[in-house]
A and B are shown apart, each in its own frame.
Chain A
Amino acid sequence: MNLEFTEEEKAFRAEVRDFIDNNYPKDIGTRGVQDELSPEDMLAWHKILGKKGWSVPAWPTEYGGTGWTPTQRYIWGEENARKNTVMPLPFGVSMVGPVIYTFGNEEQKAEHLPGIRSGDVWWCQGYSEPGAGSDLASLKTTAVRDGDDYIINGQKTWTTLAQHADWGFFLCRTDPDAPKPQMGISFILVDMNTPGIEVRPIKLIDGGYEVNEVWLTDVRVPATNLIGEENKGWTYAKFLLAHERSGIAGVARSKRGVEQLKEIAASEMLDGKPLLEDMGFAQKISQLEIDLSALEITELRTLAGEQAGKGPGPESSLLKVKGTEIQQRLTELTLEAVGHYGAPDFRSFPDDGSNDFPIGPDYAHHAAPTYFNMRKTSIYGGSNEIQRNIITKMILGL
């Protein structure tokens, strides 16, 4: 038992910290009231990391990975959270990339992996459908073979940031007569500029537009865009989901969030003293920190297992459930901490391009929208109810 990082790991942390401090673009995320990040902002760090060779740390080295141990990758995540960096989007790096290098053919690897590494190609995920959701296998979008092409028809939803996407990876039904819903599904790469694709942004309760409906009408894509074998898409989809869940605990970001919450609670006054010194509120923050420590060590134990050659298994469900509960609790406490200034809709203020917030303390202006937005975390990536089903089935054997 040793929870200390090794000397090599500490040196690695110093190197990473130094690189971030010297290279992270300083102007991202410090704009006016409506500081929606532009697509360029979201890719800026990715492109810098691409040149450094650090954009896809977890990939095998032959495809451009760093060869870092899981612990080093954890340190990497921590240091980025410390600076609140805008990390590479997961759709290329953590989702389709691993599917392509694991199940794709040489042409597909050559065509797609470089653009994912460099951050030049924006990917989106076409999994969920209006009638499917957590019951993903019931998806209805069809791909019908026509000569050298597939013709795709259907509708996807919750497609995150598809409005900016160059490529998408879609699950489509290629055999409607398969005996089980999980069979007869294929994993197909689609150029989002293909005629017949319409992307309609969905307004969410926080007032933003981060997800979309994607309508596909007679979308003709080359059959060479099929990953692996026809009708075996479910296998690749499950592989991808296991990758998605393992990064979902968000420990490092939550630690940063707790620091921010403490800063807010130190500024807000209650009975002439900082809110942070109020026993009731301090207790809530401590509870959060304690739960976060437990999650962190649990994640490190999982990492250690992974380092020893065990892949991410059903314990990733535990990390997802506990991680998202903590993320949500954090946003609840932040909204509580800001008091009256949680109510104004700061998105409704005209953007005068300045960094000054028109009313209230600047830390208040994201509190309510973030609280609203973070309700999604217990829904997406397989809802927390589904994760508990997985735990009861896979771990408890019930």
Chain B
Amino acid sequence: MDFDFTDEQNMVRDGISRLIREEYDFDTRRSVVASESGWRPELWAQLAELGMLAAPFSEEDGGFGGATEAMIIMEEFGKGLAVEPFVPSVVCAGGALKHGGNSAQREEYIGGIISGEMVFAFAYAEPRGRYDLANLETTAKADGGDYVINGHKAVVIGAPWATHLVVTARTSGGQSDKDGVSVFIVDKAAQGVSTRDYATVDGRRASEVYFENVKVSGDALIGDAGNGLPLIEKVVDEATAAVCAEAVGAMKVTHETTVDYSRQRKQFGTPIGSFQVLQHRMADMLMEYEQSVSMCYLATIKLDEDDATRKKNVSAAKVRIGQAARFIGQSAIQTHGGMGMTDELAVGSYFKRLSIIEGEFGSVDHHMRRHIALTAG
């Protein structure tokens, strides 16, 4: 058994946690989230400079790590509620390219992601597909050596900031068939791509992305035509593990903030932390947090194993962490009383991010169903 991190991993953590501490105090975050652009491209450049955008890639792709590095970074992102598009650009698009891209694509696009010059969003969800990755109404029709994409992608996180998109579309088969799913790289400025940009309730930015006869060359295809489902399942599992790590970071701060508040806030002449009912709740929050840390490690460790093992463990983690996120978020608000309801206190923003993470890349129910399907019989 070894739960220690390597020196290099510890350096990643030191680097990212210092940056988050220095650049991501809550007031700064509040003003960034409220600003017109909603993020800080200059901070993205800084992340690139620090090597953080290279951390989850292998050496041959110009990086120095893998899933554990992504976990470490996202945990710190969660502590600061950072909104920068690490998951869509580095984990999702980067993951699709590193697992499915040919050498030319890897060189061009992973290089662009690592340098921060290209920012990707991951356009996989659809208005009526719920969490089923194969349920696609978006189509990509072969046209000579090219493809013509038509469709509508829902709640594409980070798309307003993106230069490029990774898009899933159906090249053959019926609406939910496992075969016939393909994955493409699309320049956001391409003819026929339009977006409707908006804020999300947890302080990020997203778009509805519409494709109207968007022509891309055959080079835009990642992997084989029609065989994209296993690839995006793996990518989404890695993204799920990443948001689990983010949740763990957010839960840690949420819990600590709540304990601090209970020491300071007085009612009936005594700190509320002296009330047994609140003590027990905060003890339960701690236990939920520790179980979440364990599941986050487990999911991350199993990401490179066979598909069934990976899926089972990622789903187990997302179930447990989704439940813990709800318990810790709600308990924090309740313990803060009316103050927890105000926009002014950070705890409300943590609660909101945790609430949305619950449904991101699959709800507790979705992952419970997948876990049952993989473990029954």
Contacts and interface: CB of A to CB of B under 8 A. Distances in A.
Interface of A: 128, 131, 133-135, 138, 157-158, 202-205, 207, 211, 268-272, 275, 278, 280-281, 332, 335-336, 339-345, 348-349, 358-361, 368-369, 371-372, 375-376, 378-380, 383-385, 388
B154 interface: yes
B340 to A, nearest CB: 7
Given A138-B267, A340-B127, A360-B154, 8 more contacts: A135-B268, A205-B343, A271-B176, A278-B365, A340-B359, A371-B355, A375-B330, A384-B334
B287 interface: no
15 contacts: A135-B269, A204-B348, A211-B341, A272-B176, A332-B326, A336-B364, A336-B365, A339-B130, A343-B155, A359-B198, A360-B154, A360-B155, A375-B334, A379-B334, A384-B334
Interface string B356-377: 1011100111001100000000
Given A369-B201, A383-B334, A280 B196 contact: no
Interface in B219-275: 266-269, 275
B45 interface: no
B132 interface: yes
Nearest to A279: B369
Nearest to B336: A379
Contact of A281 (B131, B176, B326, B365): B365
A342 B359 contact: yes
B247 to A, nearest CB: 15
A253 to B, nearest CB: 20
B200 A269 contact: no
B352 interface: yes
Closest 4 CB pairs of A and B: A205-B348, A203-B343, A135-B267, A348-B199
What class of interface size applies to chain B in its complex with A? 35 or more
A144 B259 CA distance: 38
A388 B280 CA distance: 15
B128 interface: yes
A345 B155 contact: no
A205 B342 contact: yes
B344 A203 contact: yes
Interface string B177-213: 0000000000000000000101111100010100000
Given A343-B359, A375-B330, A388-B277, A358 B338 contact: no
B90 interface: no
A53 to B, nearest CB: 36
A280 B337 contact: no
B208 A375 contact: no
Contacts of A272: 176
A332 B256 CA distance: 24
B120 interface: no
Contact of B198 (A340, A344, A384): A344
Nearest to B176: A272
Nearest to A210: B341
A227 B66 CA distance: 70
A126 B277 CA distance: 28
Given A340-B125, A343-B206, A368-B355, A205 B341 contact: yes
A203 B339 CA distance: 11
Contacts of B268: 135, 138
B338 A380 contact: yes
A270 B368 CA distance: 14
A382 to B, nearest CB: 11
A384 B360 CA distance: 30
Contacts of A278: 365
B44 interface: no
B128 A335 contact: no
Given A271-B132, A340-B155, A345-B199, A335 B277 contact: no
Nearest to A384: B334
Nearest to A369: B201
A138 B157 CA distance: 47
A268 B130 contact: yes
A375 B337 CA distance: 9
Contact of A368 (B131, B340, B344, B356): B356
B351 interface: yes
Contacts of A207: 201, 343
B338 A133 contact: yes
B245 to A, nearest CB: 19
A41 B102 CA distance: 61
B333 interface: yes
Contacts of A211: 338, 341
A344 B208 CA distance: 10
Contact of A128 (B130, B338, B368): B338
A371 B355 CA distance: 9
B97 to A, nearest CB: 24
A332 B275 CA distance: 28
B303 to A, nearest CB: 23
Interface in B37-67: none
Nearest to A128: B338
Q: Chain B CB within 10 Å — which of A369, A383, A385 has the most?
A: A385
B278 interface: yes
Nearest to B268: A135
A235 B130 CA distance: 54
Given A270-B130, A335-B355, A388-B277, A343 B196 contact: no
Given A268-B130, A271-B132, A339-B130, A348 B278 contact: no
Q: Chain A CB within 10 Å — which of B128, B330, B359 has the most?
A: B359
Contacts of A280: 365, 368-369
B36 to A, nearest CB: 12
Contacts of A344: 155, 198-201, 206
Contacts of B342: 202-205
B340 A341 contact: no
Given A340-B155, A343-B359, A371-B355, A349 B198 contact: yes
B133 to A, nearest CB: 12
